[in-house]
Amino acid sequence: MNHLNAQIYYNKLALKYDQVTKDAWSAPNRVEELTIQLANQNTTILDIGIGTGQSIRKVYQSEKFKTIEGIDVSDVMLKNCKESYPEVIVHCGDFLHFESFTLPHYDLVICCGTLEFIENLDEFFLRCQSLLSKNGDIVLTFEPRISGHPIQSESVSEVNSERQVNDAHLITYRRDVDHFYSVVRKYEFTVLFQSLFVSYRKLDVDVIYMLMHITNRVSPTE
Ligand SMILES: C[S@@+](CC[C@H](N)C(=O)[O-])C[C@H]1O[C@@H](n2cnc3c(N)ncnc32)[C@H](O)[C@@H]1O
């Protein structure tokens, strides 16, 4: 039940999340570069693990959306999100099991810095498949497993106590890129773009993330 660990961890971190991640956590910027290109005034957006809302900041300011909804297990992160972005509809719960989204389908699904806490990729993509509009897009990040990397060579590890929220036992799941691709294809999605980037630095080591733009379009070039 890693979502319960995430809830404990992020409820504690929430009070200083924006402060500790400022200029140190690049994933939201990378996600925003793609979402801002994909969104327009008619786009319905769902952000999985929206946190304090860092990944919807630009799209919110640009007003290139019809609705933005976000889900997160941490009510304290969501409270901060709502204060910064009052028009965002927030839901508190585990993405894999939440049943009360406002809309049946969303044009654009965002998942930034959250997939590493969700163990079952199949369940994640099944839910995305059911929640995504026809011709919909997913912009996500995940943490790849990188053999020989000082931090990222294991597929599973516990987030350690350096942020002083160590009673949560939060697990990080890293993915083999080939396996990730095979799951994407299994649910009939197509990867349109992928790029590795440095997401943050930990103990002077670069932590590498993958940014992906995925679609369910039958003719992805349209
Ligand atoms: C690293 S933070 C990322 C927050 C935001 N997307 C950002 O990039 O700043 C991960 C977020 O995912 C949330 N989370 C983890 N597992 C979740 C789950 N199963 N369902 C919903 N939210 C989850 C956490 O509570 C936390 O707010």
Nearest CA to ligand 1 atom 16: 3
Q: Is 94 in the pocket of ligand 1 (CB under 6 A)?
A: yes
Task: Print pLDDT tens along the chain (222 aa).
Answer: 899 999 999 999 999 999 999 999 999 999 999 999 999 999 999 999 999 999 999 999 999 999 999 999 999 999 999 999 999 999 999 999 999 999 999 999 999 999 999 999 999 999 999 999 999 999 999 999 999 999 999 999 998 645 545 567 899 999 999 999 999 999 999 999 999 999 999 989 999 999 999 999 987 665
Q: Which CATH number fits domain 2-215: 2.40.30.170, 3.40.50.150, 1.10.287.980, 3.30.1370.100?
A: 3.40.50.150
Closest ligand 1 atom to Cα of 7 = 25
Instruction: Give the distance (Å) from ligand 1 centre to CA of residue 10.
Output: 8
Residue type, 56: I
Q: Is 117 in the pocket of ligand 1 (CB under 6 A)?
A: yes
Rg for the chain (alpha carbons), in Å?
A: 16
E strand intervals along 15-163: 44-48, 67-72, 89-92, 106-111, 132-142, 156-158
**Structure tokens given for 134:** 């026809």
**Structure tokens given for 33:** 């570069």
Nearest CA to ligand 1 atom 13: 49
Closest ligand 1 atom to Cα of 98 = 20
Nearest CA to ligand 1 atom 21: 72
Strand order in the sheet with 205-215: 89-92, 67-72, 44-48, 106-111, 132-142, 205-215, 190-202
